[in-house]
Amino acid sequence: MTKLISREQIVQDLPEIDDIESAELRQKVVDAWEFALGHSSFSRVTDIPGEGSKGVFLLTRGTQDAHLRGVTRLALGIYEEFRATYPEAKVDRDIILAGGLCHDIGKTWEFDPERLKQWKARPHRFGEPSFRHSAYGVHVCLSVGLPEEIAHICMGHSLEGAHIGHSTECFIIRQADHAWWHVAAALGLCEPDTISFAGPTLRVRPIGES
Ligand SMILES: [Fe+2]
Ligand SMILES: [Fe+2]
């Protein structure tokens, strides 16, 4: 079920890839997306719905690239903010970049329309879903030879990640990921019936109001 995927389109959809300093890591991030899209019904990153999980934080506008890029830039911003005041605090910028751009790569599995159909029809056989994007993301990363640190971020950013200790870079991306969805919900950018994860204190500002 693998198909031809444009490596150029992957970089067009996730231009922060070019900001990764290590040429090897840069290539492997593209390899990972080529592998993940190639084993899915999607052709490019911008085809993947903008959603946290199925039915959770569904964006009213924009696709998964908006989230991946937003989380990556937000995580970098957190690092740069601390570095400005505390230069002695060290973070691996390449791991933040690659980890941010790959953290939800497993949504190529979890959101695949063909798989969703199969899980809905026979959940007693396959589960519903069989497993989430965090687990599939680990599979993708290890299959293409991405470092363990990136696979760890695929697992550690998610709900399943509550059961493991987090690396520094994973911890920052997890904070950025949760902040991104919660703020998107607060700004009225998610479907109202998909935001209960943001908690009972949230009062959504409707689009256009101040
Ligand atoms: Fe996720
Ligand atoms: Fe995410």
Q: How confident is the model at residue 2, as a pLDDT?
A: 77
CA–centroid distance, 31 to ligand 1, in Å, is 20
Q: Which residue bears the tokens 């199969």?
A: 118
User: Which one of the ligands is nearest to 157 CA?
Assistant: 1
Q: How far is the CA of 91 from the centre of ligand 1 (A)?
A: 21
Q: What is the pLDDT of residue 1?
A: 52
164 lies in some domain: yes
Per-residue pLDDT tens over the stretch 47-79: 999 999 999 999 999 999 999 999 999 999 999
Give domain status of residue 133, yes or no: yes
Q: How far is the CA of 88 from the centre of ligand 1 (A)?
A: 30
* Residue 207 falls inside a structural domain: no
Question: Within a domain: residue 88?
Answer: yes
How many angstroms separate the alpha carbon of residue 27 from the centre of ligand 1?
22
In a domain, 125, yes or no: yes
Instruction: Please provide the distance, in angstroms rounded to a whole number, between the alpha carbons at the two ends of the chain.
Output: 48
Rounded to whole angstroms, how far apart are CA atoms 130 and 92?
A: 33
| 3 state DSSP class of 41 | coil
Where in the sequence is the domain holding 157, given as residue range(s)? 7-198
Cα 168-172-176 angle, rounded to 5 deg: 170
| C-alpha of residue 136 to centroid of ligand 2, in Å | 14
| Residue 11 within any structural domain of the chain | yes
pTM: 0.97
Ligand number with the minimum distance to the CA of 69? 2
Please name the residues in contact with 148: beta carbons below 8 A apart, sequence gap of 6 or more: none
Number of domains composing the chain: 1
User: Does a structural domain hold residue 117?
Assistant: yes
What stretches in the chain show pLDDT beneath 50? none
Q: Which residues contact 163 (CB under 8 A, 6 or more apart)?
A: none
Widest distance between CA atoms in the chain? 54
Evaluate whether residue 48 is within a structural domain.
Answer: yes
Interior CA angle at 163 toward 161 and 164, to 5°?
Answer: 75
If we measure between CA atoms, which residue out of 187, 181, 183 comes closest to residue 206?
Answer: 187
Which pair of structure tokens corresponds to residue 163? 């059961």
Neighbours of ion ligand 1 (CB under 5 A): 104, 158
Distance in angstroms (rounded) separating the CA atoms of residues 138 and 140: 5
